Structure 1
Amino acid sequence: MTNTQGSAGPTVWLAGATGLVGREIDRLWPATGLLVRLTRRPLPARAGRIDALVPDFLAAAAFAALPQAEAAFCALGTTRAAAGSDAAFRAVDLDAVIAFGRAAKAAGVRRFALVSALGADAASANLYLRTKGEAEAALATLGFETLVIARPSLLLGERSGLGQPPRAGEALAQRLARPLAVLIPARWRPVAAADVAAALLQALAAPAPGIRVLDSAALQPGRASPR
């Protein structure tokens, strides 16, 4: 497929380009094709990328002007504390994710990758895990040829530029995670956001049909394999 800027390769959408994993997908993008970064604010210009300003993912016309695409990455997400309420949290982590998935399907996307969370379960009593599980279940009904779901444990990475309120417990966990990593079972081991991004890029570059779930064990460097 040839992108609208004339360089060979697929056109790919990225939602959540300013988040922890999304910015790593952007950084690692091989520039063989066009990466359309859906964002609420302009991002620094980089080769092989264009920005599409989407102020409201839930607006009916939000995706109308976007080019057709072959693949999409969804790295949208917030926290209950940052959102301010259960409803505001679910508007991002569920409603916006589903809206993006539907728009991607309508634009011809065949391969879709989602950043979810370890323990995601639509039947969970935990709001965060239930919401993530509901988003996964909704995307699974849209009929993508390939759906890759990353379920990382604690994400490691620099959060200072994300515009989120500080989370003291998470900062402490990140400091302890690396020296104690060998003692933590692989499934629960924290994983760097850059490794999640690399695993998703690899998975969509060599797609297999159906739904693939990558947990933290599979997301560690060199271990991206389906569960």
Structure 2
Amino acid sequence: MNYTNENISVVMLGASGAVGTQVVKRFLKSKQPKNLILLGRRSIDTIQADFVQQHEINIFDPNSYAPFVKNTSVAICTLGVGEPSKMSKEEFLKIDKQAVLDFAQICKKNGVRHFELLSSVGISATSSNFFLRSKGELVAELEKLQFARLSIFQPSMILTPTNRYGISQAIVLKVWPKLNLFLHGNWLKYRGIAVEKLGVAIAENIFSNGSGLEILQYEDFNRISERG
């Protein structure tokens, strides 16, 4: 599956988050794709481009956004909880799992062929860790939808230029880049990735060939972003 600017329309959920912002920024810079539809709880005032449409929706009500998914070929979902430890497991599942699955089901129903999801390294439907297991179960459900192409991005620590969540993130942002020097071989996938580079990789991946399930990790992010 290979798309170009002339024949691609993208619908995106989660554009206001740290990673989603970088995905959109890349599209705005490249002036691709042909159409970009952003779905969110509120519009982003700083985005001004002819090929971008924004719709304020209820992420928990698929009927509120189903009409906007029609005639799109690619869906990108960067929706997620920034600090899952700060909310109940029920709330986490409602956002990180059910809302994403609802979005994917609407996309599949409306003919979307390529679905991209921002997930996490280490996910598994059999993991003893609740958060990793939940994300693994989500991917298993997405596989059942049988998209022509399903791209799962699995970063470890996402390195942002600013601290968004307090002292714990401040420590991580300071220490993790130094740990990268010691992560090699099978541990390479745990290297921290700059949020801008991850956003570029998610954006540029839709213009490459691919089919079926693809798991993308640290080395892939670098390869795709450099190619773009």
2:102 aligned with 1:99, yes or no?
Answer: yes
CA displacement, residues 76-127 of structure 1 (integer Å, 9 cap, x when unaligned) = 1003234x21000010110011001011112211011100001011111211
Match of 1:190 among 174, 178, 192: 192
Does the Cα contact within 8 Å between 2:143 and 2:150 map onto a contact in 1? yes
Does the Cα contact within 8 Å between 1:146 and 1:207 map onto a contact in 2? no
Match of 1:74 among 74, 77, 83: 77
Sort the Cα spacing of 1:127 and 1:28 in 2 relative to 1 into closer, same or farther, 3 A. same
Does the Cα contact within 8 Å between 1:121 and 1:134 map onto a contact in 2? yes
Structure 2: runs of 5 or more not aligned = none
CA displacement, residues 171-216 of structure 1 (integer Å, 9 cap, x when unaligned) = 2111122234222232210011222222222321113111100122
Partner of 2:168: 169
* Identity over aligned pairs, percent: 26
Instruction: Write the letter of the residue equivalent to 1:20.
Output: A
CA shift for structure 1 position 167: 4.0
CA displacement, residues 22-47 of structure 1 (integer Å, 9 cap, x when unaligned) = 11111001323111111101112321
Runs of 4+ residues deviating >6 angstroms: none
Does the Cα contact within 8 Å between 1:9 and 1:34 map onto a contact in 2? no
What's the secondary structure of 2:66's corresponding residue?
coil
What is the TM-score of this pair, normalised by structure 2? 0.85
What's the secondary structure of 2:101's corresponding residue?
helix
What's the secondary structure of 1:205's corresponding residue?
coil
2:17 aligned with 1:16, yes or no?
Answer: no
Choose between structure 1 and 2: higher helix proportion.
2
Sort the Cα spacing of 1:159 and 1:113 in 2 relative to 1 into closer, same or farther, 3 A. farther
Root-mean-square deviation (CA, aligned residues, Å) is 1.9
Instruction: Write the letter of the residue equivalent to 1:116.
Output: S
Whole-Å separation in 2 of the counterparts to 1:124 and 1:71: 29
Does the Cα contact within 8 Å between 1:77 and 1:93 map onto a contact in 2? yes
Whole-Å separation in 2 of the counterparts to 1:151 and 1:102: 21
Structure 1: runs of 5 or more not aligned = 1-6
Sort the Cα spacing of 1:129 and 1:159 in 2 relative to 1 into closer, same or farther, 3 A. farther
Partner of 1:34: 35
What is the TM-score of this pair, normalised by structure 1? 0.86
Whole-Å separation in 1 of the counterparts to 2:204 and 2:224: 11
Whole-Å separation in 1 of the counterparts to 2:11 and 2:52: 10
Instruction: Write the letter of the residue equivalent to 1:188.
Output: Y
> How many residues are matched?
211
CA shift for structure 1 position 158: 3.8
* Correspondence list, 1:102-121, <5 A: 102-121=105-124
Instruction: Write the letter of the residue equivalent to 2:9.
Output: T
Does the Cα contact within 8 Å between 2:120 and 2:154 map onto a contact in 1? yes
Match of 2:211 among 193, 209, 212: 209
CA shift for structure 1 position 223: 5.8
2:136 aligned with 1:133, yes or no?
Answer: yes
Whole-Å separation in 1 of the counterparts to 2:136 and 2:166: 23
Does the Cα contact within 8 Å between 1:121 and 1:130 map onto a contact in 2? yes
